[in-house]
Structure formats: structure tokens, C-alpha cells
Amino acid sequence: MRLLQLAVGGDVFLADVFALADPVRAVAPLFAALACREVVGHNLTAFDLPLLSRLGFAPDVPVFDTAVASRVVSAGEAAGHDLASVACRELGRELNKGQQRSDWAAPTLTPSQLAYAAADVAILVPLAALRQKRAARKVGAVLELVMKCALPVSHMAARGVGFHTNP
């Protein structure tokens, strides 16, 4: 993980994890403050939460994954649930994904990479409006159940699942 990206209202904050001498210690106060707040992310369950859990992030409240919400709300009628596709379909906004495959391991991130990262996190605040579509599509109960499962699923992705093999 290279960057921690946070959007609160209209403000965006980026923290370069590579620049932190002790990332776990440095982000602990932020994670403590966020643990009781809903976290919104795209592909949060499959990607971000397993990585964040390795740094000690363990939210106490349900999370909202806009990629999962897009799949549930569209109920198979829409193709493309990546962030750019969902932002275009739901908000009519184009995201430039040109920096997605750039060198994120470089010692210093470029202004273009930082702008890309900021745009990706800023779009999540308006994308959380997918909640309003759940009632119209009559998938509210399904979406609620899926979001309740997000944390346990992300924990399994981060730590694996053990099985007893003796009969």
C-alpha cells in the first residue's frame, strides 16, 4: 500500500505511507478516529480493507462498498463495476485512469499521480448516493445484508480461513 486517501465532505487528504518511519504507529490515531465512522470505498471489501487491516484498521461499524453496491443495485442490468464505469453511469462524471498503472513504487510520487489519487477518493462521497437507488430497485434488504458481510469477508481475505481436515 502506497497511499492512504481520505475524503471528508469536499476535502481530500493523502498520506504517503512510504514516507512514514513506522506506518502502523503513525496511522493508529487516524484509524481510531475512523473506527466508529462509516467508511465508504470502491472495492473496499476485496482490496482496501484487507490491506488496511494489516496496518491495524478494524472498523466497528458497517462499511459501504460502492463496487458491491453498484452490482447489487444494477441487479445484473449494467456492465462494468470498476470505479470509472460506475462514476460515469451513476454520476455522469469521467475519471481519468491514466495514472493507474504508473510507477507507484517510485521514491517520490508525481503531481499527476497525486491528482489521480485525489480524484479517485473524492468521487466516493457523491457515489455513496447509490444508497438512494436501493429503495427504487427494491434491493434494500439485499444491500444491507451484503454490507453487513463486508467486514467478515475482508477479514477472511486478509487472514485466510482455516479448516479442520480430520474426518
Q: Which of 45, 69, 44 is nearest to 127 (CA)?
A: 69
pLDDT for 18: 93
Q: How many residues does the chain have?
A: 167
C-beta atoms surrounding 142 within 10 Å: 14
Per-domain boundaries in the chain:
3-159
CA 57-95-131 angle, 5° bins: 60
Q: Higher pLDDT residue, 12 or 158?
A: 12
Distance of CA 147 to the CA centre of its chain: 12
Residue 39 — φ and ψ, nearest 5°?
A: -105, 130
Q: pLDDT tens digits, residue range 48-99?
A: 888 888 888 888 877 888 998 888 888 777 788 899 999 999 899 999 999 9
C-beta atoms surrounding 85 within 10 Å: 15
Q: pLDDT tens digits, residue range 104-113?
A: 999 999 999 9
Residue 1 has pLDDT above 70, yes or no: yes
Residue 29 — φ and ψ, nearest 5°?
A: -65, -40
3-state helix, strand, coil in the chain (%, to 5): 55, 10, 40
pLDDT for 3: 92
Q: d(Cα 19, Cα 106) in Å, to the nearest integer?
A: 12
pLDDT for 152: 73
In the structure, what pLDDT confidence band is assigned to residue 158 with cuts at 50, 70 and 90? Answer: low
Residue 129 has pLDDT above 70, yes or no: yes
| Amino acid sitting at position 124 | L
Let me know if domain 3-159 sits in CATH 3.90.79.10.
no
Q: d(Cα 31, Cα 55) in Å, to the nearest integer?
A: 9
